């Protein structure tokens, strides 16, 4: 059971060590120097390698399979977008079909990949560099995993989600770094990879060999609005009558600007009525990605004329419009409130 892969990796490791001995490298980061020279060559058989992880890390693999990371190349919305482009998406590949991101380093834009684009942003992209495995702990699997604290930090995600010069439409990083969540030490992982207590290894034949019991792990479902999971409660909505107006205070709770990305519209709809419940008017305001988004830096106060009203019903929602590859528009409620004078 301990398998082709492990043995294969083991022999590859032996080769690396042998190469090191030959050049007599004794300096600080021996493995770095070997891997740098390996960098221009792409990994063969990537899809097959990614397929093997599930044998021992079934939970994580199941979660990942349902995400847009797994579909970052095959996603119909993405495919529709690149069909229009002269380069057929080559310029998109650094993030939508990347090589191992640690080749460039955490927080840096990855290199594009030619092979096996259909496996998207996968286990190997985030956890391997050449023949080494990397993760948040220095666990005993794979002949020793290289622990890197960066896995617990936003840097990891900023490689692709925080490169405004490469793709401003898909940047959550800039607003995150300026926002209150970052100042309070909350990372992307703390909201998009919830903590869970479980074993790193789910294989019934393998896990007995490792004495580490359940430990603090992270769900790999990377929930987002496209799958409707985290939108409710993404902002706080407060409102009060003040003289002839309704004063509304909105606070994005996203850690980054809201909406988080291109296309989406966040809107506030207010329906005013008098004491008998008869409609006396309405108000509307919208926010979009970029300069017109709700900021991550704290509350925004708005005022709407409401002289004739005794009641106001407020709805805050996000719409993902119909788009090539997305047949239906998706309207999701963020918060709702009713106030009386």
Residues 203-222 that bind ligand HEC (CB under 6 A): 203, 206, 210, 212, 217-218, 220, 222
If one asks whether residue 95 binds ligand HEC (CB under 6 A), the answer comes out as yes
Judged by CB under 6 A, the residue of 34, 102, 119, 125 near ligand HEC is 125
If one asks whether residue 122 binds ligand HEC (CB under 6 A), the answer comes out as yes
If one asks whether residue 234 binds ligand HEC (CB under 6 A), the answer comes out as yes
Distance CA 192, CA 109 (A): 21
Of the candidate spans 18-26, 144-152, 239-247, 306-314, the one that interacts with ligand HEC by CB under 6 A turns out to be 144-152
- What is the chain's length? 341
Nearer to ligand HEC, 176 or 272 (CB): 176
For residues 50 and 69, the answer to whether their CB atoms sit within 8 Å is no
If one asks whether residue 163 binds ligand HEC (CB under 6 A), the answer comes out as yes
Nearer to ligand HEC, 231 or 246 (CB): 231
If one asks whether residue 123 binds ligand HEC (CB under 6 A), the answer comes out as yes
If one asks whether residue 160 binds ligand HEC (CB under 6 A), the answer comes out as yes
Give the orientation angle of helix 30-38 with respect to helix 3-23, to 10 degrees. Answer: 110
- In angstroms, what is the minimal distance from the CB of 185 to ligand HEC? 10
| Tokens 């050049």 sit on residue | 23
Nearer to ligand HEC, 110 or 295 (CB): 110
Q: Rounded to 5 degrees, what angle do the CA atoms 138, 191, 93 make?
A: 75
Nearer to ligand HEC, 274 or 319 (CB): 319
Closest among 75, 59, 57 to 118, alpha carbons compared: 75
Nearer to ligand HEC, 224 or 281 (CB): 224
Q: Which residues contact residue 261 at a Cβ distance below 8 angstroms, ignoring those fewer than 6 apart?
A: 169, 170, 172, 289
- In angstroms, what is the minimal distance from the CB of 169 to ligand HEC? 6
Binders of ligand HEC in range 24-63 (CB under 6 A): 49, 52-53, 55-57, 60-61
Judged by CB under 6 A, the residue of 8, 10, 19, 75 near ligand HEC is 75
Q: Give DSSP secondary structure letters for 137-168.
A: S--SGGG--EE-GGGGSTHHHHHHHS-TTT-G
Q: Is the bond preceding residue 259 a cis peptide, omega within 30 degrees?
A: yes
If one asks whether residue 132 binds ligand HEC (CB under 6 A), the answer comes out as no
If one asks whether residue 159 binds ligand HEC (CB under 6 A), the answer comes out as yes
Q: Rounded to 5 degrees, what angle do the CA atoms 203, 204, 206 make?
A: 65
Binders of ligand HEC in range 256-275 (CB under 6 A): 256, 258-261, 263-264
CA dihedral 251, 178, 290, 300 (to 10 degrees): 20
């Amino acid at each position: 059971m301990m398998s082709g892969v492990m043995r294969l990796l083991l022999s590859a490791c032996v080769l690396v060590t042998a190469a090191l001995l030959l050049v007599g490298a004794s300096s600080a980061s021996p493995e770095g120097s070997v891997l740098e020279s390996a960098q221009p060559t792409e990994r063969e058989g990537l899809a097959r390698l990614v397929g093997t992880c599930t044998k021992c890390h079934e939970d994580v693999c199941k979660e990942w399979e349902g995400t847009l990371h797994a579909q970052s190349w095959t996603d119909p919305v993405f495919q529709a977008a690149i069909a229009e482009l002269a380069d057929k998406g080559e310029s998109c590949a650094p993030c939508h079909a990347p090589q191992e991101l640690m080749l460039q380093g955490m927080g840096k834009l990855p290199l594009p990949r030619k092979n096996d684009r259909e496996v998207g942003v996968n286990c190997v992209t985030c956890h391997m560099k050449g023949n080494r495995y990397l993760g948040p702990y220095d666990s005993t699997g794979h002949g020793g995993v290289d622990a890197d604290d960066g896995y617990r930090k936003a840097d990891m995600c900023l490689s692709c989600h925080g490169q405004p010069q490469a793709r401003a439409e898909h940047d959550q990083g800039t607003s995150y770094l300026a926002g209150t969540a970052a100042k309070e030490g909350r990372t992307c992982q703390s909201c998009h990879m919830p903590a869970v207590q479980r074993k790193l290894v789910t294989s019934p034949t393998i896990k007995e060999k490792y004495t580490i019991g359940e430990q603090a792990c992270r769900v790999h479902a990377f929930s987002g609005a496209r799958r409707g999971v985290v939108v409710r409660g993404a902002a706080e909505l407060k409102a009060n009558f003040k003289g002839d107006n309704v004063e509304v205070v909105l606070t994005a709770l996203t850690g980054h600007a809201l909406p988080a990305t291109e296309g989406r519209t966040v809107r506030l709809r207010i329906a005013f009525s008098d004491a008998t419940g008869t409609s006396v008017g309405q108000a509307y305001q919208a926010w979009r990605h970029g300069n017109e988004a709700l900021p991550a830096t704290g509350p925004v106060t708005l005022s709407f004329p409401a002289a004739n009203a005794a009641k106001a019903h407020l709805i805050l929602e996000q719409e993902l419009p119909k788009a090539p590859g997305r047949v239906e528009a998706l309207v999701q409620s963020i918060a709702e409130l009713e106030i009386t004078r």
